[in-house]
Amino acid sequence: MSRIATRFAALQRDSRKGLVPYLTAGDPDPSATVAVMHALVEAGADVLELGVPFSDPMADGPVIQAACERALGRGVRLTDVLEMVAQFRRDDSETPVVLMGYLNPIEALGAETFVARAAEAGVDGVLIVDMPPEEGGEMAERLRAVDLDLIFLVSPTTAEARLRRVGETASGFVYYVALKGVTGAASLDAGAVAGELTRIRQYVQLPLGVGFGIRDATSARQVAGTADAVVVGSALVERLQAAGADAPAAAKAFITELRAAIDGARAA
């Protein structure tokens, strides 16, 4: 069982909802990424989503696009991201880490090499935004062979046939995109999210994380009522950039707030 599956099993056993913060590797500074990762865990994060900088992050809004540009400008590449994970693993052998990114850097490194090096570094799952489930069978097999999970995005417009394919191919958890737009877009409708999660669960038996629109404690608490995990990205990346050298402290403060809100939803 992967670290991701183990973590979600523990959350379910304890009747808790997961918290999955996203940060772009290398932003606001490459030397701070691992410290921010540890700060997020200290604040109550259950799974870390580490973005691999890419020049054309088509699913990401302006906040994460800018973070990718800054990280690339500082020379951060996929191999550097893997080294960051390896460094994180020296002090944390339990918290699952998911790499989120695009297919091009993986293809440039070579899929077989990437999977081997990801497993060696301590990565637990991979979310490749521009690889649909219809084309993910080979990657899923490669990852499964080294006990890594392949995570897919689904959205309000995902058809039933694709949901079935996701249910057959994905592992770890499935990421529900709550908005018809890019990351950091407008406010979400918690009622509509609940209805969509009911639809998706007809085809997908894995835990469902909800993101794209989680901006604060209020939205996190609303989504936690029906999701298995809350994913927060742009709102955190904004705070990290604004904090600069104080990024770890800013990360800890924000995620502590969201953790309290999510746990409050459970208590309510």
Q: Which residues of 161-191 are buried (b: 16+ CB within 10 A; e: fewer)?
A: ebbebbbebbbbbbbbbbbeebbbbeebebe
Residue 267 within any structural domain of the chain: no
The tally of domains found in the chain comes to 1
Residue 264 within any structural domain of the chain: no
pLDDT score, position 184 = 46
Those residues of the chain that have pLDDT short of 70 are 180-188, 266-268
Residue 187 within any structural domain of the chain: yes
Q: Is 112 a catalytic residue?
A: no
pTM of the predicted model as reported, rounded to 2 decimal places: 0.95
Residue 268 within any structural domain of the chain: no
Residue 266 within any structural domain of the chain: no
Residue 104 within any structural domain of the chain: yes
Name the catalytic one among 60, 149, 196, 228: 60
Q: How many CA atoms lie within 13 A of 170 on its CB side?
A: 28
Which tens digits make up the pLDDT trace of 164-223? 999 999 999 999 998 765 444 456 678 889 999 999 999 999 999 999 889 999 999 999
Q: Return all residues near 172 (Cβ < 8 A) that are at least 6 apart.
A: 2, 4, 5, 8, 96, 98, 124, 125, 149, 150, 151, 206
Residue 265 within any structural domain of the chain: no
pLDDT score, position 56 = 87
Q: Is the peptide bond before 62 cis (omega within 30 degrees of 0)?
A: no
The mean pLDDT value of the chain amounts to 94
Q: Which domain holds residue 52?
A: 3-259
Name the catalytic one among 27, 46, 49, 238: 49
CATH assignment of the domain containing 16: 3.20.20.70
pLDDT score, position 53 = 97
Residue 131 within any structural domain of the chain: yes
Cα separation, 106 vs 204, whole angstroms? 26
Q: Is 196 a catalytic residue?
A: no
